[in-house]
Structure 1
Amino acid sequence: MLSFRALSALAALLVSLPAAAAQSPAAVFGIELAEPGTIGPRPVKPEDARRLGLASEALRREVAGRGLEPVDLTPQAAAIRRDAPFYKCEGCAEKIAQAAGAAYVVYGYVQRSAPQVLNLTVTITEAGSGKVLRGGQVVIQGDTDETWLHGVRSLVKNRLFAEPLPNRS
C-alpha cells in the first residue's frame, strides 16, 4: 500500500483540483459480479445485470464529482470483453486504461455472500504503474436498487475519497 505521505498527496491533489479546470482522466470500468467457486463463465441473472449497470453508472457519477473524469471506453470494448473480469486479471485494466488515455483506473466487483448480503469492492490504481492508490469494501445488506446505490455512494464517500486517518495508511 501507499505511504501516508503518498496518500496525503493524492488526497490533496484530488481535493484541491478546481472542478472545471483540472479533471484527471480515469478509466471507470463497469462493476462486475464475482462468483467464487464457479468454473467458467456463468450467465448473469437479468436483475443482477440491471443492478450492476445502475451501480456502475453511479460509480462513474460519484468519481466524476470528485475530480476523476471518466474517459470513453467504447473503442476498447473488444479488449474489455476479452480481459474481463478485471478483479482476476493482473494489469490488463491498466493497459486498457492507458490505451484510452486515462491516468487512473477504477474498477470493482460485487460478491454475493448470502441472498440478501453482498460485498462491494472498488479499487483505484495508476494506469502507468498499476500502483494501488485507494481501495475499499462495503457490505450491502438487502438486494434492492437503493441498497446497491447506497453501497456505491457510501464506499466512494467514506473509503475512496475520505481523508486518510492520522498515523494510519
Structure 2
Amino acid sequence: MLSFHALPALAALPVGLLVGLPAAAAPTSAAVFGIELAEPGTVGPRPLKPQDARRLALASETLRREVAGRGLEPVDLGAHAAEIRRDAPFYKCEGCAEKIAKAAGAVLVVYGYVQRSAPQVLNLTITVTEAESGKVLRGGQVVIQGDTDDTWLHGVRSLVKNRLFAEPLPNRS
C-alpha cells in the first residue's frame, strides 16, 4: 500500500511539467542522480546490505527510465563520478547536485532517497530542481509498505506519475 504526501514547500508552486510539449521542441536535459539510502543518526558512510544496494540500483534505473519516458533527456553523469561520490548524499548537501548538473549541461536535477521508518515501511522522496537556480520545481514522498523489489519499483513509478509529472513543471511547458 502506498500513500502520497506532497512536500510542504511545494504547495505554493504554480502547476505546469512537460506534458503537451510541441513535437518540434527539444527535450529538456536532466541530471538524474541515483536514489540514496538515508540512515538518520549515522555518521559517515555505512556499507549497504546487498539487497539494499540492489534495490537502490533498480529504483535508480527505473527513475531514469520514467524521467526519459516523460520527455526529459537524461545527461551522462559518468565524467562526474568522483564529484558525485565526494558530495553524496545529495539530500544533505545543499546545492551540490545542482552544481554537478550544471557542469554536465543539465537544465533540471532529479534526486531522491529512501528512508526506513520500520523494517517493512519505507519513505521514498524525490525532488526536481532547476540546475541554474536550485529552485525546487516539484517533489513528493510516498510511503512504501513492504521491503521487496516490487514495492520499491511500484513506489518510484507511482511517485513519478502521481506527483512529479502529474502536471507540467512550472515554466517548462
The alignment yields a C-alpha RMSD, in angstroms, of 1.7
Residue equivalent to 2:119? 115
Identity of aligned residues (%): 82
Runs (4+) of structure 1 moved beyond 4 Å?
1-4, 18-21
1:7 aligned onto 2:14: yes
What CA deviation, in whole Å up to 9, does each residue of 1:117-167 have, x standing for no partner?
000000000000000000000001101100000000000011111138xxx
CA change 1:99–1:33 in 2 (3 A) is same
Larger RCO, structures 1/2 (Cα 8 Å, 6+ apart): 2
Which of the pair is proportionally richer in helix? 1
Which residue of 139, 153, 158 maps to 2:157? 153
What CA deviation, in whole Å up to 9, does each residue of 1:35-76 have, x standing for no partner?
001122111111100000000000001111112111000000
CA change 1:136–1:19 in 2 (3 A) is farther
CA change 1:46–1:55 in 2 (3 A) is same
Return the TM-score normalized by structure 2: 0.87
CA change 1:2–1:31 in 2 (3 A) is closer
Give the Cα separation in 2 of the matches to 1:43 and 1:82: 16
Asked if the contact 2:28/2:71 (under 8 Å) is kept, the reply is: yes
> Number of aligned pairs?
160
Return the TM-score normalized by structure 1: 0.89
Residue equivalent to 2:3? none
Give the Cα separation in 2 of the matches to 1:3 and 1:115: 30
Question: Is there any run of 5+ residues in structure 2 with no aligned partner, and where?
Answer: 1-8, 169-173
Which residue of 46, 49, 55 maps to 2:53? 49
Shift of 1:19: 6.2
Give the Cα separation in 2 of the matches to 1:62 and 1:94: 20
1:69 aligned onto 2:73: yes
What CA deviation, in whole Å up to 9, does each residue of 1:62-95 have, x standing for no partner?
1111121110000000100000000000001000
Give the Cα separation in 2 of the matches to 1:57 and 1:29: 10
Matching residue's letter, 1:120: L
Shift of 1:18: 4.3
Question: Is there any run of 5+ residues in structure 1 with no aligned partner, and where?
Answer: 165-169
